[in-house]
């Protein structure tokens, strides 16, 4: 997968655009800035926006090409972000060290999804906020009609409300919904899509 993402991010264009995810951008601005973690951050559009809102940002992704473009975007926007090239398996941070955890279209294989979510949740402080948007299981029908809608083609990598509630059982749910949206996030998140949105506070 590392080679896949390096090839995808290696083009001159920001394939998911430079603007932040709409749901994330609204939710992060409701919070008092602190320290935020952005796993699977790709080309950096959300991390850079978070830094522009006053957050101390730590991001990581397995793609060197993603990091290059994220740092270019940060320079363009006049902000600083910390960005590591690593996998989620290898990423390490102190427990209870972040005030926000941001997971935007961060999809993992079904066999490790819960484990990965719980590993990341442990890094969030009590009272810290999780902001998540990802494709729901219904999205397969949209992806089959319009490949530019993007997202995994493996049903097990797509989200349901019930799975997310189980993965983040140590959280108080503030907002959780599945809905149909029209994405306009560059070349590969374009068109009608089925998503799950979640905001939750760690107990």
Each residue's pLDDT tens digit, 146-195: 999 999 999 999 999 999 999 999 999 999 999 999 999 988 899 999 99
Is the confidence at residue 27, as pLDDT, over 90? yes
Domain boundaries, the chain: 2-202
Q: What is the mean pLDDT of residues 127-140?
A: 97
Average pLDDT on 139-145 reads 93
Position 12 confidence tier, pLDDT thresholds 50, 70, 90:
confident
- pLDDT at site 7: 87
* Cα 117 to Cα 41, 51, 95, 170, distances in angstroms: 15, 23, 13, 11
Does domain 2-202 sit in CATH 1.10.3720.10?
Answer: no
Q: What is the dihedral of CA 180, 161, 120, 116, to 10 degrees?
A: -100
What pLDDT shows up at residue 120?
A: 98
Tell me the CB-side half-sphere exposure of residue 5, using CA atoms within 13 A.
Answer: 19
pLDDT tens digit sequence for 61-105: 999 999 999 999 999 999 999 999 999 999 999 999 999 999 999
pLDDT band at 32 (very low <50, low <70, confident <90, very high): very high
Q: What would the mean pLDDT of 136-144 be, rounded to a whole number?
A: 94
| Whether the predicted pLDDT of 2 surpasses 90 | no
Q: In this predicted structure, what is the pLDDT of residue 109? A: 94
How far, in Å, CA of 14 to CA of 35, rounded? Answer: 25
Tell me if residue 185 falls in helix, strand or coil: coil
Q: What integer best gives the mean pLDDT of the chain?
A: 96
Give the pLDDT of residue 172.
98
């Amino acid at each position: 997968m590392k080679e896949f993402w390096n090839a995808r991010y290696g083009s001159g264009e920001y394939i998911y655009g430079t603007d932040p995810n709409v749901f994330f951008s609204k939710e992060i601005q409701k919070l008092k800035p602190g320290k935020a973690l952005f796993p699977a951050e790709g080309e950096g559009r959300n991390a850079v926006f978070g830094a522009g809102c006053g957050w101390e940002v730590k991001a990581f992704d397995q793609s060197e090409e993603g990091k290059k473009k994220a740092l270019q975007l940060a320079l363009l926007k006049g902000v600083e972000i910390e960005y590591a090239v690593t996998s989620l398996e290898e990423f390490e941070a102190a427990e209870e060290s972040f005030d926000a955890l941001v997971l935007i279209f961060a999809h993992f294989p079904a066999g490790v999804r819960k484990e990965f979510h719980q590993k990341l949740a442990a890094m969030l402080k009590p009272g810290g906020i999780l902001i998540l948007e990802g494709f729901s299981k219904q999205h397969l029908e949209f992806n089959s009609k319009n490949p530019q809608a993007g997202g995994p083609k493996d049903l097990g990598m797509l989200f349901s409300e019930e799975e997310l509630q189980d993965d983040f059982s140590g959280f108080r749910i503030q907002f959780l919904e599945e809905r149909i949206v029209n994405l306009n996030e560059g070349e590969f998140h374009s068109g009608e899509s089925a998503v799950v949105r979640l905001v939750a506070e760690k107990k």
